[in-house]
Amino acid sequence: MSSSTDIHPSAVVEDGAQLGEGVKIGPFCHVGSEVTVGDRCVLQSYVSLVGKTVVGSGNEFYPHAAVGGRSQDLKYTAEPTGLRIGDHNVFREFVTVNRATDPGNETVIGSHGNFLAYVHVAHDCVVGDHVIFSNNGTLAGHIHVEDYVILGGLTAVHQFCWLGAHCITGGCSKIVQDVVPYTIADGNPAEARGINRVGMERRDFSPEAVRAVHDAFKMLFREGLNTKQALEKLAGPAASQPAVARMLEFVASSERGVVK
């Protein structure tokens, strides 16, 4: 433990926990014996980090975040599983993140994410970088979330779904199928409402790329074609645009079907 680490007297840091340089642990926090906390992380108060949890650098945990708890999967019987978190994430009040279910597996969260109050990330999820999960956003088990996804408040995502990069969900949405990259999914159950034009522009996609994605969206969801027909029509010059190629690859490989 580094001399630069600041631990409040009321906090409990179990023997075996590894703390990096400049870690600050506030009142009534609990850090378990198998936890590794990277440099310059901040645990404000009443934070629980337990289990085989590895946390990168520069993360901040707000009061009552509970991270690394055992899987809620009923098949789980205390096998050794893990949770791995990247760098520079924010976990707001009452966020919960669970470890994986099967022995040797990990739940994974990337870097630069913003997880707002009461967000839940269940067992075996894989979450990318630069995501924003609004208040009460909930992931069931085995969900894959790509980079730059925005989850609207009170959105619930069914287990095994895949959320493509740069997609966004509307508040109170029910997601039961995969969400195509760059699209907006909204409703209960969700429907594809359009493309995430603002998100793409903020990420410096060219006007040509945005137009190509818009045209691909219309072909996939607005021309009355089935999936095979739409993919065949888009397989020519349109697929030379990388964003469109990613959309087509995503749709073709989806196992649950996509939100339309």
Q: Catalytic: which of 88, 120, 123, 166? A: 123
Sheet of 150-151, strand order: 6-7, 24-25, 42-43, 60-61, 90-91, 114-115, 132-133, 150-151, 168-169, 183-187, 190-195
Q: Is the CB of residue 247 less than 8 Å from the CB of residue 216?
A: yes
At 245, is the secondary structure helix, strand, or coil?
Answer: helix
Tell me the CA distances in angstroms from 241 to 137, 203, 211, 220, 222, one per residue in order.
Answer: 32, 16, 10, 16, 20
Q: Catalytic: which of 58, 110, 141, 153? A: 141
- The reply to whether 73 belongs to the active site is no
CA distance 41 to 228: 48
CA distance 31 to 22: 16
Beta strands 96-98 and 120-121 are parallel
Q: Which residues contact 139 (CB under 8 A, 6 or more apart)?
A: 120, 121, 122, 125, 127, 145, 157
Q: Catalytic: which of 51, 56, 110, 124? A: 124
- The reply to whether 142 belongs to the active site is no
Instruction: Locate 130 and state its tokens.
Output: 């630069």
Instruction: Locate 177 and state its tokens.
Output: 């199928």
Alpha helices (runs of H) in the chain, residue ranges in sequence order: 197-202, 207-221, 227-233, 242-253
- The reply to whether 124 belongs to the active site is yes
CA distance 145 to 129: 9
Catalytic residues: 123-124, 141
